[in-house]
Structures are given as structure tokens and as C-alpha cells.
Amino acid sequence: MKNSKESIRLFENPILESLTKTNALFVIATLALISLSILLFGIIKIKLSILGYIVLFLSGTFVYTLAEYLIHRFVYHSGEYKNPKKWIFKIHGMHHTTPRDKQRLVLPLPVSIPLAGLFIFIFWLIMGNYVLLFFPGFLMGYSYYLSIHYFIHTTKPPKNFFRYLWKHHLLHHYKNETVAFGLTSPLWDIIFGTMPKDKKLE
Ligand SMILES: [Zn+2]
Ligand SMILES: [Zn+2]
């Protein structure tokens, strides 16, 4: 089953089951478009210097990388995530069982859009309307993550800088699931001490 391209049935209900399968590139493009629309709205609504816009956008991306690490480590890998009877299996455990199931490499939009709304609300409580410039950076970080993750599981490692990210995530899948939780960068793995010690994939 490991490394399988097959699909696992997650729900008895055929409608729910079909909602768990989605075209990754369509989701990525939609989220990137939402990010750009909010950014444009933010730029029209809030007057700042170019540097101010860039700093807020990049702060959102930076906070995203931390959220990516924390959610992967403490939510996705919590409890019995490999037990098909548990809800967390449907979110992440199944990805470890069938990592190459192309239709299940991204959270479907009916889940990710409400989640995006929740994040906007939380950030709005903290920073008010600046969320219109901060959140696009956060969401763009997530779209970037989804793209990299999709290509890691569907294509061979490239011969450039991205090769490192391929290896880091494949070590998480095929060597040790208790390390290498960061995907877009190993930064938080270095800070929190979860870098893989054994770096050989075979
Ligand atoms: Zn994982
Ligand atoms: Zn993966």
C-alpha cells in the first residue's frame, strides 16, 4: 500500500466521498487568485509605502511557514492518525498510506475556503484591516506549499535548489514520520529540533 497511487475510500456516502477528491491545480489557481484579489482590495483600501505593502505581505508568508510546521506536526500527526477509523486519518493519515493519490494532495475548496475565513478572522482580531495585506501573503505561502507538495509526489526531483525540498519531504514519508514537518523550508525543523538525522532515503 505504501507509495501507492491507489485511492482509499474515506466515506460511505458517495457525495462526501466525491468531495474528498479534487483537481490540485484548480485548487491552487483558485487560492492564488483569491490571494491576489484580497491584496488588490487591500492596496486600494489601505495607503502605505511600497515597502509597507511588501513587509506586510512577506510577514504573512513567514507566519504561514510556522503555521504549516505546527499544523503538520501537532494536528496532522496527532493521536491515531494512521487509524482509518479516526477523522485525522481522512485529513492526513491517508496521505501517508497513499502518498501518490493525485486527487487527494490538497484540501478540497469546501474545506479550505471556510478555513481561510477562520484564519482571516483570527488575524483580523489581531491586526484589524492590515489583514487585507497580511493574509494574501499567508495564502500565497499556502498555495506555494500546495504546488511544491503536488510536484514532490507526482514528478521526479529536479536538478536545482528544489531538490533539497523533495528529499526533506520524502524523508518524512519514507524514512521517519516523526521528523521533517516543514515542507516549504526546513527552518522550523532546525529551530524545533526535528531535522532528520538519517539523511539517506534508501
Ligand atoms: Zn505527515
Ligand atoms: Zn506528502
Task: Tell me the pLDDT tens digit for each residue of 126-139.
Answer: 999 999 999 999 99
| pLDDT score, position 13 | 75
| Within a domain: 59 | yes
| Within a domain: 163 | no
Q: How far is the CA of 199 from the centre of ligand 1 (A)?
A: 17
Q: Which domain holds residue 109?
A: 14-143
**Could you give the CA distance from residue 53 to residue 42 in angstroms, rounded to a whole number?**
9
**Could you give the CA distance from residue 23 to residue 184 in angstroms, rounded to a whole number?**
21
**Could you give the CA distance from residue 11 to residue 23 in angstroms, rounded to a whole number?**
18
| Within a domain: 50 | yes
**Could you give the CA distance from residue 97 to residue 140 in angstroms, rounded to a whole number?**
28
Q: How far is the CA of 30 from the centre of ligand 1 (A)?
A: 24
Q: Which residues lie closer than 8 Å to 51 by C-beta, 6 or more apart?
A: none
**Could you give the CA distance from residue 91 to residue 81 in angstroms, rounded to a whole number?**
9
Q: How far is the CA of 154 from the centre of ligand 2 (A)?
A: 10
**What is the tally of structural domains in the chain?**
1
Q: Which residues of the chain have pLDDT under 50?
A: 1-2
| Within a domain: 33 | yes
Grid coordinates representing 165? 525540498
| pLDDT score, position 22 | 83
| Within a domain: 161 | no
Taking alpha carbons only, the member of 91, 65, 61 closest to residue 77 is: 91
**Could you give the CA distance from residue 133 to residue 120 in angstroms, rounded to a whole number?**
11
| Within a domain: 153 | no
| Within a domain: 66 | yes
Q: How far is the CA of 88 from the centre of ligand 1 (A)?
A: 11
| pLDDT score, position 37 | 98
| pLDDT score, position 1 | 42
**Ligand nearest to the Cα of 166, by number:** 2
**Full DSSP string of 87-149:** HHIIIIIHHHHSTT-GGGSS--HHHHHHHHHHHHHHHHHHHGGGHHHHHHHHHHHHHHHHHHH
- Per-residue pLDDT of 42-81, as tens digits, reads 999 999 999 999 999 999 999 999 999 999 999 999 999 9
**Could you give the CA distance from residue 102 to residue 75 in angstroms, rounded to a whole number?**
22
